Amino acid sequence: MLVNSKKILLEAKKGGFAIPATNFIDLDSARAYTKVAEQRGLPLILSFAQAHKNLISLEEAALIGKYFAEKSTVPVVLHLDHGEDKEFIFKAIDLGFKSVMIDASSETFEDNIKISKEIVEYAHSKDITVEAELGHVGAGENYESHDMTDSVYTEVDDVIEFVEKTKVDSLAISIGTAHGTYAGTPKLNFTRLKEIAAISNIPLVLHGGSSSGDDNLNYCALNGISKINIFTDLLTAAYTEIKENCPKDYISLKENANDGMMKMLNHYYDVFNTKSI
């Protein structure tokens, strides 16, 4: 069933588990993710990132996402990941996305509030949930050197003011993860996570989950993170499955890729301690 993220993330926050947010870039990946969710009887956040608009259009993403979510037997959120501008986000809402993210984390604190608030006002008028980011989750290459990543930790004192002024439904925070791949397993700031979780009355989100370490992600899921974004690990698993099986034709190659993604999502459902809703 196609739903917005409000209820399922509040259930995750209450129950001490996280829901995977899996980025899809075509029909096959969307089908693979929702198939696993149905097999496990677990909720799923099916995400499409604005950065992938050159792979498939927003219109195509909306059609694919709505099709699989509406026919699913479990709650599925069609979510816009890392919306970068108002026009694109509003278009996603009008096309049927049930949840959107406004990423103004690279702006000043004041501008982040202003931009996020404008998105919230439009989205809430249509019963669409909104995620924003406070702090900044950068790129993961060469992560061993903290001088070579543009990630910025979320400041605890900013959280209450930001949430009160924007009225966002969930908040992505930065505690040491990064998008993409790492040169090594990152060291996450669990102290910062606990401090933010203690004062936040809305669900918290972790971006850059891929390759962040199963123990790290399990700890986050059990201690205040309600949504964890996974993408790179899913594609890596697809490619690994292809290399290991050496498919002889295109159809077999696609089957191998789908199997790899499904195995990885199954793995992360276990790591995130995801429960049915």
**Cα–Cα distance between 226 and 11 in angstroms, integer?**
9
Could you give the residue numbers annotated as active site? 81
Structure tokens at 91: 């278009």
**Cβ-based burial of 191 (10 A; exposed 0-12, middle 13-18, buried ≥19):** exposed
**Cα–Cα distance between 111 and 126 in angstroms, integer?**
24
- Secondary structure (H, E, C), 166-204: HCCCEEEECCCCCECCCCCCCCCCHHHHHHHHHHCCCCE
Under 8 Å between Cβ of 103 and 83: yes
Q: Nearest-CA neighbor of 170 among 197, 196, 202, 135? A: 202
**Cα–Cα distance between 172 and 168 in angstroms, integer?**
10
For residue 77, the SS3 value is strand
Phi then psi for residue 10, to 5 deg, are -65, -35
Which value, in Å, is the radius of gyration of the alpha carbons in the chain? 18
